[in-house]
Structure 1
Amino acid sequence: MPFWRRPVTLLFVMAAAMPIAFSTWSALLNNFVIEVADFDGSDIGWLHTVREIPGFLAIAVIALIRIVREQVLGIVSLLLLGVATALTAWFPSLGGILTITMLSSIGFHYYETVNQSLQLQWISKERAPKVLGWMLATGSAATLVAYGLIVTTWKAFDLDYNTVYMTAGLTTAVVAILCLMLYPQFESPTPQVKKFVLRRRYWLYYALQFMAGARRQIFVVFAGFMMVERFGFQVHEITSLFLLTLVANMVCAPVFGWAVSRFGERRALIFEYTGLALIFAAYGGLYAFGWGVVLAATLYVLDHIFFGLALALKTYFQKIGDPADMAPTAAVAFTINHIAAVFLPATLGYLWLELPQSVFFLAAGMACTSLGLSLLIPRNPEPGNETVFARYRRKAAPAE
């Protein structure tokens, strides 16, 4: 089979296509909702709560893959993300933005759920950390192109939100259609369980996913919003900041893949959560004491870099999980990841109105909780050795 028609190549193509729509939507979002719909902290909280509902309902993927192949479901979800992004500026009201956001979010979250499952099925355990690192770099490169175009053309050609959203969304949609037409249907090495799976031995993975989802929401919702509301960043300025983070991720993502392969998931996640705890604590001090825009931008870039180590959570599960559990557990994990996401943005939106810095201090506490959980990952995770407690269970087992 030609290289360009192999399963891993398809994963790379989709990894490049998804950020074109999603990252463009994210880059313009805070300016769009403030300038066009006059959003405040409460409104942005509700927007992200609505955006995360499909993630909470990602468990429905288990039912869908009974009637639709995972590969087809992933590509169709990518198509929906692209079309919904293209239409975003057509609905410049609170109700309209919430509705179109819900549709694009269904596409994004169902694509991500299936994509994670396919990655863990189609990539071997030995190659996974490095390949996933290169996929992160590919997504960053695609986003870099999108952001670069926004920065260089936004003021030069006096672009409007509709033009940019339409261009980015339709590009992703066209790539999705080509993926449907050009790639054959690939088989998984192991047939997947097509029913709800919740296993006791995966409890640490579930806990880490829950904390990751809660902590990520604070960054996604409020870090960028702070840059616009507190420091007055305009579209081209905040997009330039995103460009810096992308360049950093393009360099760091392959290194992170190598580091996870070399040092293991335990050390990688300990390093990530320690860094995130310090960064979020600094965010809180930044807002409380007004330490300056340069520090704010630096923390934003560092935050993005540390999130790249989240690939270690994927490979941790790949090592401990049954190969037949990849698809159903990806759906369950996405739902667990989004439990807090459904209520946290709206709730913290009200807290933001009264005491913004406390939102970031809460995130620092969440990162510390994740750090404590990461210490429970064994140095060599595998089935039967999912946590550090497994050694005690084996010692307590009666001799045969």
Structure 2
Amino acid sequence: MPRLAQHRMYVFLLVLTICNTAGLQVWQTLFDNFAVHVVHLQGHHIGIIQSVREIPGLLSLLVVYLLLIIREHRLSALSVLLLGIGVSLTGLLPTFAGVILTTLVMSFGFHYFETTNQSLTLQYFDKQTAPLIFGRLRSSTAATNVVVGLAILALSPRLAFDQLYLLFGLFIIAASCWALLQNPTDHTLPPQHKNMVFRRRYWLYYALTFMAGARRQIFVAFAVFLMVKKFSFSVSEIALLFLVNNLVNFFLSRLIGHCIVRFGERKVLSLEYFSLIIIFIAYALADSKVIIACLYILDHIFFNFAIAIRTFFQKISDPQDIAPSMAVGFTINHIAAVFLPVLGGLLWLVDYRLVFFAGAAMSLISLLLVQLISGQLARHEG
């Protein structure tokens, strides 16, 4: 593939990744304090909202059918536009029903872009380059989060929640409109299948994707909520934590891509899941603000290792299967995400520690599954 075509696609994905990241970061940074102090929500409300947030992820398989009527790079830009609209409206509808509505809009945009983003990256970059590109994009998301965190720290004392959401949302809308005018595609690539693709030989990819989605929801739905509810983190403290976290990940994300190339997916994912078992148990037992903050940063570092699941799939897949398989993979990733936050919210009412012990158990299952990667690669190469 011509280097110019790869460069155009990289710039296109970089701009949209920055926008997508900024939108989610703003939503997450402000959400728990917005939910607790403005909308006055409780733990079970948070569980419901987080489950609703994952419904668009469950419906990511519909991307395959959308590609019948719209090109993949256009869908990427439209998805980020939808994200910007959802973020803009969040603070303007400060009720439980309003939060559910804006969360759905925001989430459809976020998840559909992530699906097409992963697909386009695997299509345009080879097996040795793709992990490095994923690492660079992860690094750019960390840098974006640093800028967003600093902006929130500077603006939150002066602006209300609705003004903050609207300001960042309008910025995302403007950038996505630019992306709609671009055409970074290369017509020499193999055409993607426009139908659902399920293959028996991809079963390990499906299993790892399902477990990654399950354990990730424990962290996404309840880690920051634990900080606000139990440890009384303020908006400024959450923003500062996000800032430190993303500074660390800015420097480490590129290294993770190199580690995947050098050591392989099995070793990288084994380190991730072994570490997560310890981290989740520590979440349940910790009683210190500093320890909880450190655990949050460590969790994010190891979360970046999950790009190895996608690069593993690239090594065992047919080139024409990438777009539909990324859509199917995102759906599988979110099957557990739809019901786990609600179940976690109910467990929280009994004892919040049960939520994090469940996350440790899920990480153990994933650790056992990744030991099968070498055999899958050997059979594919054979």
Question: Corresponding residue for 2:240?
Answer: 240
Question: Corresponding residue for 2:307?
Answer: 311
**Residue 34 (str. 1) matches residue 36 (str. 2):** yes
Q: Cα offset for 1:226?
A: 0.3
2:159 is paired with a residue of what secondary structure?
Answer: coil
For 1:380 and 1:10, the matched residues in 2 are separated by 33
Q: Cα offset for 1:168?
A: 1.3
Match of 2:138 among 136, 139, 148: 136
**Residue 284 (str. 1) matches residue 266 (str. 2):** no
Question: Corresponding residue for 1:265?
Answer: 265
Instruction: Give yes or no for contact 1:8–1:123 (8 Å, CA) kept in 2.
Output: no
For 2:336 and 2:118, the matched residues in 1 are separated by 20
How big is each residue's C-alpha offset from its partner over 1:11-63, in whole Å with a ceiling of 9 and x where there is no partner? 11212121111111111000001111111110000001111011101111111
Map 1:273-352; keep pairs closer than 5 Å: 273-286=273-286, 290=287, 292-352=288-348
Question: Corresponding residue for 2:128?
Answer: 126
The one-letter amino acid paired with 1:384 is H
Q: Cα offset for 1:187?
A: 3.2
For 2:271 and 2:338, the matched residues in 1 are separated by 28
Map 1:73-112; keep pairs closer than 5 Å: 73-112=75-114
Question: Corresponding residue for 2:203?
Answer: 203
For 1:131 and 1:2, the matched residues in 2 are separated by 15
Q: Cα offset for 1:188?
A: 6.1
1:298 is paired with a residue of what secondary structure?
Answer: helix
Structure 2 stretches lacking a partner, 5+ long: none
For 1:383 and 1:67, the matched residues in 2 are separated by 37
Quick one: structure 1 residues 217 and 188, their matched pair in 2 at CA, closer, same or farther if it must change by over 3 Å?
farther
The one-letter amino acid paired with 1:261 is V
Map 1:133-282; keep pairs closer than 5 Å: 133-155=135-157, 158-187=158-187, 189-282=189-282
Question: Corresponding residue for 1:381?
Answer: 377
Question: Which contiguous aligned blocks of 4+ residues in structure 1 show a shift greater than 6 angstroms?
Answer: 1-5
For 1:201 and 1:45, the matched residues in 2 are separated by 35
The one-letter amino acid paired with 1:16 is I
Q: Cα offset for 1:136?
A: 0.3
2:191 is paired with a residue of what secondary structure?
Answer: coil
CA RMSD of aligned residues (A): 1.6
For 1:252 and 1:44, the matched residues in 2 are separated by 31
Quick one: structure 1 residues 2 and 201, their matched pair in 2 at CA, closer, same or farther if it must change by over 3 Å?
closer
For 1:4 and 1:188, the matched residues in 2 are separated by 12
For 2:152 and 2:371, the matched residues in 1 are separated by 42
Question: Corresponding residue for 1:388?
Answer: none
For 1:117 and 1:146, the matched residues in 2 are separated by 26
For 1:259 and 1:379, the matched residues in 2 are separated by 20
Question: Corresponding residue for 1:398?
Answer: none
Q: Cα offset for 1:178?
A: 0.6
Greater CA radius of gyration, 1 or 2? 1
Instruction: Give yes or no for contact 1:121–1:188 (8 Å, CA) kept in 2.
Output: no
Q: TM-score, length-normalised on structure 2?
A: 0.96
Instruction: Give yes or no for contact 1:278–1:364 (8 Å, CA) kept in 2.
Output: yes
Identity of aligned residues (%): 43
The one-letter amino acid paired with 2:205 is Y
Quick one: structure 1 residues 188 and 205, their matched pair in 2 at CA, closer, same or farther if it must change by over 3 Å?
farther
Q: Cα offset for 1:152?
A: 2.4
2:91 is paired with a residue of what secondary structure?
Answer: helix
Q: TM-score, length-normalised on structure 1?
A: 0.92
